[in-house]
Amino acid sequence: MPGIYAIGDCNGLTMLAHAASHQGIAAVEHALGHAPAAHGQPIVPACIYTSPEAAAVGITEDKAKEQGIAYKKGIFPLAGNGKSMIDEGEAGFIKILAGAKYGEILGVHMVGPRVTEMIGEATLAMRLEATVDELVTTIHAHPTVAEAIGEAALAVDGLAIHWPPAAKK
């Protein structure tokens, strides 16, 4: 109905608190006649606060296949990241899906320590339509778990540097 806005869980789009908040802001801005802050397809991260943590943004491989999107992927095991090892997160990983032709980031999926804090970088990268090359050339501080994002971006083209020996087999 004109003038009635449905934000949050009631519209069934993305049943997460931060999605509801942003939809609320967009609805108020629209009601006041301002251009909504968000545009295009919303890029909404999702986190699971288990041990280990899980976090994701963008499409999954299943979705890419379903939609016929040509993609390449890089997986970096956190066994190759020192800060993750300290947190006993060596079983974790970061997976990046990128467009096969231009390398635009399509989805980022992470399992491991502190990944719910790191999904923001992936979300911003997607929001700015970054490519894996732009992730690769972004300097990540050492030692951080976030370094593994750069490594996963390198892994998209098989170029990860601190690749753990187990993953080489």
Ligand X SMILES: Cc1cc2nc3c(=O)[nH]c(=O)nc-3n(C[C@H](O)[C@H](O)[C@H](O)COP(=O)(O)OP(=O)(O)OC[C@H]3O[C@@H](n4cnc5c(N)ncnc54)[C@H](O)[C@@H]3O)c2cc1C
Counting contacts by CB under 6 A, is residue 27 touching ligand X? no
Could you confirm whether 162 is annotated as catalytic?
A: no
Counting contacts by CB under 6 A, is residue 15 touching ligand X? yes
Report the nearest approach of ligand X to the CB of residue 29 (Å): 17
Counting contacts by CB under 6 A, is residue 16 touching ligand X? yes
Counting contacts by CB under 6 A, is residue 54 touching ligand X? no
Of the two residues 6 and 159, which places its CB atom closer to ligand X in the complex? Answer: 6
Contact 23, 7 (CB under 8 A): yes
Among 104, 93, 109, smallest CA distance to 145 is for: 93
- Residue 74 — φ and ψ, nearest 5°? -130, 130
Please count the residues of this chain forming the interface with ligand X, following the rule CB under 6 A.
Answer: 8
Counting contacts by CB under 6 A, is residue 20 touching ligand X? yes
Among 94, 90, 92, 84, smallest CA distance to 112 is for: 92
Q: At what angle do helices 147-155 and 115-127 cross, to 10 degrees?
A: 60
Catalytic residue among 18, 30, 142, 162: 142
Task: Tell me the one-letter amino acid at 62.
Answer: D
Q: Which stretch binds ligand X (CB under 6 A): 7-15, 96-104, 107-115, 127-135?
A: 7-15
Question: What sign results for the dihedral spanned by CA atoms 95, 40, 44, 88?
Answer: positive
Q: Which of 1, 17, 35, 139 binds ligand X (CB under 6 A)?
A: 17
Report the nearest approach of ligand X to the CB of residue 113 (Å): 17
Q: Which residues pair with 73 in a beta bridge?
A: 97
Task: Tell me the one-letter amino acid at 159.
Answer: L
Catalytically annotated residues: 142
Binding site for ligand X (CB under 6 A): 8-10, 15-18, 20
